[in-house]
Structure 1
Amino acid sequence: MDTVDKIIRGEEIEQSSSQASFYPPADQPRLTWKETFTTRRGWYGEYDYAALCMPRIPFIGSSKSVSSPFFGPNDEIPIMVALLMGIQHFLAVIGGVITPTVIISGSGAGYLNLDESTRQYLTSASLILSGIMSLIQIIRVRIPKTRYYIGSGLLQITGVAFSNIPAASAMITTMYDNGTCQKELQPDGTYIYSPCPDAYGAVLGTSIVCALLSILISFLPPKVMKRIFPKSVTGVVLTVIGASLIVSGMKNWAGGSSPCIDRPDSGIFALCPTIYAPNAQKWGSPAYIGLGASVFITIIIVEIVGSIFLKNTSVVIGLLVGCAIAGGVGMFDGSGIADAPAITFLWVKTFKLSVYGPGIIPFLFVYVDYIVECLGDLTAACDVSKLPVEGDEFNTRCQGGLLADGLSGIFSGLGTSMGVVTFTQNNGVIAVTRCASRKAGVICAVLLILCGVFGKIAAAFLAIPSSVMGGMTVFLFSSVATSGIRILGLLSWSRRDRIVVAGSLALALGVALVPDFFSYLLPTVENVALQGFYDAISTVLSTGYIMAGIGSILLNLVLPEDAADPEDIKLKEKTPASSIQHGMVV
């Protein structure tokens, strides 16, 4: 991701001399459709394929800067390069696309505890909808007789957002606690949670309603959007979201989030995920810790010695290593793959849609996060695609991308998937491969759809042990927190900035670290309507990133502006404008 940062700051990018590639010279005419499919230039061009796959030996090799050609969004590109880059983007996002669905549909407190066939379907649905929504972002269409667009017209791949997890988990927890979903206390003190598909329907319905916020914001003037979402707000919210997600990842790393986390001495949860799992262990056992560590360490090693291609697929390589080790020690359960349907599609399973009142405020903040991420992603995507990051063209891309994200929230909910939004990983892939071609994005989107249609692929992801997924998700979730920290680093850090950040983080991290802090604040009453109101307040108070958003927004509005500090002015003058356009850029 350092390369993306350099591009955004306007710095020169150093590349290995072996990374040079060429296609085609500026004075060459464009190929016809027939020539594209019948000539060597159309299929292969003169691209340096060896450079894409050449590993890096630490402390050895040249870092000489080379002028490498660049494939813009609409440039002519060889078929083989487009295929390779499409696969590259697919491998870069596939782990992130399926992770939120795998987690929220799993077992334990705060999750849906769904049966395996339903989880397989939901994973397939998330892949299919991610591919479809990616095509909308990439293709970009103009709304007739208006100046507005749907889609950004850039190589932007979408996927199920990690931000869904805290809000959905808070909703589901409340529904189990108030009896909407059923749980049964066991003699050993643990609970058995019954599957609750209706809770998923409530998550989808609530998300659909809140998606209207993104649609409305997309029609606001750019200056107004920047005023609503300053860096102090977006940085704090993303940091707290990342921190709360890491908690979930660490639980899975140690064995899972089912009741086995309490390490009972007897019962089906004496081992993780249950005593019936192959080669099951106690939660936190060395076997699980080591298995997750194999994934985490592999990702780091690939980043150190991997080629351009391998670095962009480090998460997938880490998963493969973890799965290989799990299979070798007998922890990989492949029975679900054999039982999974060969072909599936959307609406094979459906859920009763509803709007859950206590979940509206949490999901409104989720969509605020979507907006922040989308604006940052589009800014970075324009930079790495060598397109303007200001002016009318840039503003229309932001408007179209935001509108597509809002529509994705509605269509993904109707298609039985949690909110689908733009992903950040692709900007890093574009930066290091110098390929921003939309054709590569279309290939990636088609691959996502195909993986969703073939049901056994989704079943294979669900067969991955929790500790393997945990080792991967801790790395991915840490990237979310890192993005928030990076945004905060762009502040001038005046006294006012410090108060906004410190005041909002105090409550947000406090709630995250002591989740029961507000549990006994409100009474329990028999009046259903009043109890629902109390549940909504409890959900807000117990969700760290919501407290971060409310706290930072209020403090940003009420605190007076500081007198201009000469040192702050000098710092601002040294900061390139492109690096402070919006919040999240990596």
Structure 2
Amino acid sequence: METKTVIPSETYTRPGEVIAISRWQEWRHYLTSREGWIGDYDYMYLITPNIWPLNRKYKDVEPPFYGLNDSVPILLTLLLGLQHALTMIGSVVSPPLAIAGGAFYLESSQTQYLVSAAFITTGIATAMQVTRLHITRTPLYIGTGLLSVVAPTFDILAVAFNYTERRYADGTCPTDADGGRLPCPDAWGAMLGTMLCTVWVQIAMSLVPPRILDRIFPKVVTGSLLLLIGVYLIGNGMQNWGGSSNCNGGSGFYALCPDISAPRPLPWGDPKLIGLGFSVFITIIIVEFIGSPLMKSASVILGLAVGCTISGAAGYWSRDQIDATSVGTFLWVHNFKLSVDGALVLPMLILFVCEAVSCMPDILATAEISRVAIDGPEFHSRIQGGVLCDGLGSLISALGTSLPMVSQAGNNGVISLTGCASRRAGLCASFILILMGILGKFGAVFGSMPPSVLGGMQVFLYSTIAVAGVRVLGMVDFTRRNRFILTAALGIGFMDIVSPDWFSQVLAYDGSNVNLQGFLQGVNLIVETPFIVAAVVGVLLNAVLMGDKEGDADGGRGLPA
């Protein structure tokens, strides 16, 4: 493959006009020339399937590499921006759909709105991360300055599910005569209000040197958190794959899946519903085998497209919600009553502390693949800017009624496949994401798709989180001390997953002290949320256990009795 085109800047010698004229000439050439629009990039590489003999030309061929600030042809910028945006779609839509349908049981219009709001706030946060703004008269930055993407965090789901379980159990969220759960928007308003009060801990942690954060939260802790989050969420994805969590053992309106008013309601786990989810899952696998670089980056959305096509042809779709949705939308079309729930304060504080640390490996991976320094003052500055941007992104997102944000490395595959780490592609992706959010019909499609189709996608995405945890744990030196910390943290975390109500009666309180009741509910929520209780155990053990001076005494076979 040919090397990239470098657009030269002309040199002028008149005093005071060198920089201005040089930049003007460069941008004029960039916007008006064939080199600026198309360049010499081999665009067939992006669309050629990995099928013999079509792939013979590109076997073992690496595309030209575009650095952070390199001039990328406009057409390639648009294509790669779209590619990054398509890669993020699954990560953007899955959390709000899970929040709306599986935790708060919001109305369809509110669900579609949360999806649109997630796209808009994701685009804004990603643009901040890519731009890297310098805070005047300080050494601080907002953003990494890398092609780092920001998306809603999956970590909030575990907290939300456990929180709403308690609210439906104590009657503060409504149910119908048969015990079916009704929409509880006030609970989401409580989460938003509590987020606005607790996100400041993450903003404050951006001022802590990264090496200190890494010492308090080593990879043995962060890896176990990712693994537990992935395993926990796979269970939620499987509920949707089978038809929806509402109708698993449901009655009345939810006697069938997704409910009795659906075009083709079926019992939970019916083979037809399982087949719909498999159509998404298998498509993603097939695209990975034979797809072109452009298709591989969009494998999740292609899987959803196949699942939606099959379910639509089989009569599982209803167009009523899509037709009723306006063409355009924006933030605050729907409002939620803000409040602060004391039971959420402690879990949310720990959540944002974990978010400040969990983004660091992803920023490191993006920096490495972008061919910039991964050590030293510049890299530490990128870490600081990334943590601060995530905190401010979560603050802006909560103000926009959406979910907390976190930097992700899910687009690193796109950088690797296309050889483009240019920030221009990241800014283009941000604009496309915001446009997707503004187009109301786009969010309505995701909010109206059958839960089984969504579940097939979710299981795949949630599995990638678990795999990311395994990857981080693979970097750990498995001394006896580290294995002990990992065993204790994962042991209690997995216990939460297999028996989520084990702690519910320990601090049960029905007295009149509202403040004490809120505090005890917060402790219960911490203990019953797998990754949060594992984080507490892991950090404490890491702080108090001395180093293993004798090394790996049992040879890695396990801890002695």
Alpha-carbon contact 1:412-1:418 (below 8 Å) kept: yes
Distance 2:32 2:554 in 1: 60
In the other structure, the counterpart of 1:505 is 490
Alignment-derived partner of residue 413 in structure 2: 428
Q: Tell me which residue corresponds to 2:20.
A: none
Equivalent residue, structure 1, for 2:531:
545
Match of 1:333 among 313, 318, 321: 318
Aligned equivalent of 2:267: 282
Q: Describe the SS at the equivalent of 2:180.
A: strand
Residues 27 and 127 from structure 1, CA distance in 2 versus in 1: closer, same or farther, beyond 3 angstroms? closer
2:128 is the counterpart of 1:128: no
Contact kept in structure 1, 2:277 and 2:456, CA below 8 Å: yes
Residue of structure 2 in register with 1:476 after alignment: 461
Checking the alignment, whether the CA contact within 8 Å between 1:120 and 1:462 is kept in structure 2 is: yes
Corresponding position: 1:532 with 2:518? yes
User: Counterparts of 1:206-217 in structure 2 under 5 Å?
Assistant: 206-217=194-205
In 2, Cα distance between the equivalents of 1:257 and 1:274?
11
Tell whether the 8 Å contact from 1:494 to 1:568 is kept in structure 2 after alignment: no
Q: Distance in 2 between matches of 1:454 and 1:61?
A: 40
In structure 1, runs of 5+ residues without a counterpart are 1-19, 570-586
TM-score normalised to structure 1 length: 0.88
Instruction: Name the CA distance, whole Å, in 2 between partners of 1:121 and 1:561.
Output: 51
CA distance, structure 1, for counterparts of residue 284 and residue 2 of structure 2: 27
Q: Secondary structure at the residue paired with 2:151?
A: strand
Once the two structures are TM-superposed, the CA of residue 278 in structure 1 deviates from its matched residue by 0.9
C-alpha distance after superposition, 1:465-501 (max 9, x if no partner): 1000100010000111111111111111111111111
For residue 43 of structure 1, what is the aligned residue in structure 2?
A: 37
Contact 1:237 1:548 in 2 (8 A): yes
Contact 1:296–1:475 (Cα < 8 Å) also in 2? yes
TM-score w.r.t. length of structure 2: 0.92
Q: Taking structure 1 as reference, are residues 67 and 237 closer, same or farther at Cα in structure 2, changes over 3 Å only?
A: closer
Which residue of the other structure, out of 164, 185, 192, is the alignment partner of 2:156?
Answer: 164
CA 33–451 in structure 1, closer or farther in 2 if over 3 Å, else same: same
Q: Cα offset for 1:558?
A: 2.1
Once residues 67 and 281 of structure 1 are traced to their aligned partners in structure 2, the CA distance between those partners, rounded to angstroms, is: 49
Write the distance in 2 (CA, Å) between the matches of 1:393 and 1:161: 26
1:222 matches 2:210: yes
- Structure 1 partner of 2:237: 249
1:91 pairs with 73, 86, 105, which one?
86
Counterparts of 1:222 and 1:112, CA distance in 2: 36
Structure 2 SS opposite 1:261: coil
Amino acid at match of 1:480: I
Tell me whether 1:489 sits opposite 2:489 in the alignment: no
Counterpart of 1:262 in 2: which secondary structure? Answer: coil
Q: Is the 8 A contact 1:163 1:369 kept in 2?
A: no
Separation of aligned partners in 1, 2:388 and 2:510: 41
Task: Note the alpha carbon deviations across 1:78-134, whole angstroms, 9 max, x for none.
Answer: 001000000000100012101111111115xxx111111122221111111111111
Q: Which of 348-357 and 478-487 deviates more?
A: 348-357
Q: CA deviation at 1:247?
A: 0.6
Displacement, 1:40? 1.2
Residues 92, 119 of structure 2: 8 Å contact kept: yes
Q: In structure 2, what residue type is equivalent to 1:467? A: S
Unaligned runs of 5+ residues in structure 2 are: 11-22, 556-561
Aligned to 1:103: 98
Q: Is the 8 A contact 2:180 2:254 kept in 1?
A: no
What is the RMSD computed on CA atoms of the aligned residues? 2.1
Matches within 5 A, 1:181-196: 181-186=173-178, 191-196=179-184
Q: Post-superposition, which runs of at least 4 consecutive aligned residues in structure 1 deviate over 6 A?
A: 26-31, 566-569
Q: Tell me the CA shift for residue 438 of structure 1.
A: 1.0
> Secondary structure at the residue paired with 1:159?
strand
Percent identical pairs in the alignment equals 42
Change (3 A) 1:263 1:61: farther
Change (3 A) 1:132 1:364: same
Of 523, 544, 554, which aligns to 2:508? 523
Q: Residue 232 in 1 paired to residue 225 in 2?
A: no
2:4 corresponds to which residue? 23
- Aligned: 1:369 with 2:354: yes
Q: What do residues 323-347 of structure 1 show as CA deviations (whole Å, max 9, x unaligned)?
A: 0000011001221111001221111
- Could you give the per-residue CA deviations for residues 380-403 of structure 1, whole angstroms, max 9, x where no partner exists? 111111110011111111111111
SS in 2 for 1:448: helix
Q: C-alpha separation between the residues in 2 aligned to 1:54 and 1:372?
A: 39
Q: Which residue of 2 aligns with 1:561?
A: 547
Which deviates more from structure 2 when the two are superposed, residues 55-64 or residues 406-415?
55-64
1:175-186 → structure 2 map (5 Å cutoff) = 175-186=167-178
Deviation at 1:515, TM superposition (A): 1.4
